[in-house]
Amino acid sequence: MKIAVVGCGALGSFYGAKLCRIGQDVHFLLRSDYDVVRQKGVTIRSIDGDFHVQPRCARTPDEIGVCDVVLIGLKTTANDQFPKVLPPLVGPHTAVVTLQNGLGNEEELARLFPPEQILGGLCFVCLNRVEPGVIQHTAHGKIVLGEFQGPSRPRTHKLAALFRQAGIACDITENLACTHWEKLVWNIPFNGLGVAGTAGYEALVSQPSTLNSQPVLTTDLLLGDPRWEQLVRELMLEVIAAANALDFDIPQSRVEEQVNRTRIMGAYKASTLIDFERGQPLELENMFLEPLRQAQTAGVPVPRLVRLCEVLHQLDPSR
């Protein structure tokens, strides 16, 4: 298959490199890392074994042309680039797969392309880009793949088989919207509190006039302090309550599952923490504000999520 990777940070580079390693025709659409990746390729330092690949590199989508599959690993803050970078890559039979966090990404793609061409992939993986062309993989890696509209199709299973062939665990969901909410159960507390924690604990449980300035909180710190762990659990329960009000059946037992799964990650910095430290815009809209709007529309009280969004808005470097 001819595959384009749009958004070659940690996520796009990791999965793109896995596909490149098994001989797929993989094209990386690059900006700042173009020269390094073109000359030196991509190195993956992984708990599953290190490897190196040399993908095809391009600066513009026109250099790549129409593909069989487009994998989108962009930050959701760059979704306004969809109309510029995606059309040259997408033909009538292209599968457009967004691997992005949060809600609303598939809907934004459906404004450009037929809904039946769009899929979502939920990535459960711990990755960091440690330097241009070098990705550190510390835990997990599974993708849960689903069609934007309707049940799985032969194409869905073909793509899942391709990921598995590349050594990527891949499940198929028959309800992509529900799976998005399941991932939010983890993303909202660990991405959100990791950054909001720099304002201090009191900022999350009250409304002080000024915010403190402290280091970001990695996953081990959030689960190593009873106060922060309690906030993690309360946020998870709010997300589950909102999901269930929207007719997505997520059991409360998912809280304990997610907490236990996170303990093995060690001192992991979720993607939002890294964006914050680099002074980049936070993925507020899709990961936090849209879930908040849907929860409020469903009439579910989510006071912890409301306060979290307020603090994140105040801390957002793009504000």
Q: What is the per-residue pLDDT for 213?
A: 85
Q: What is the per-residue pLDDT for 19?
A: 98
Q: Percentage of residues in the chain with pLDDT exceeding 90?
A: 93
pLDDT digits (tens, 9 = 90+) for 22-79: 999 999 999 989 999 999 999 999 999 999 999 999 999 999 999 999 999 999 999 9
Please indicate whether the domains covering 2-174 and 179-315 agree at the CATH topology level: no
Is the predicted pLDDT of residue 208 greater than 90, yes or no? no
Q: What are the residue ranges spanned by the domains of the chain?
A: 2-174, 179-315
Question: Region 15-20: what's the mean pLDDT?
Answer: 98
Is 269 in the active site?
Answer: no
Is the predicted pLDDT of residue 319 greater than 90, yes or no? no
Top-tier CATH class for 2-174: alpha beta
pLDDT digits (tens, 9 = 90+) for 190-199: 999 999 999 9
Is the predicted pLDDT of residue 123 greater than 80, yes or no? yes
CATH topology of domain 179-315: N-(1-d-carboxylethyl)-l-norvaline Dehydrogenase; domain 2 (1.10.1040)
pLDDT digits (tens, 9 = 90+) for 233-288: 999 999 999 999 999 999 999 999 999 999 988 899 988 999 999 999 999 999 99
Count the alpha carbons within 13 Å of 128 in the hemisphere toward its beta carbon. Answer: 15
Question: Region 124-147: what's the mean pLDDT?
Answer: 94
- Catalytic residue among 2, 40, 142, 183, which? 183
In terms of Cβ atoms closer than 10 Å to its own Cβ (0-12, 13-18, 19+), residue 211 is middle
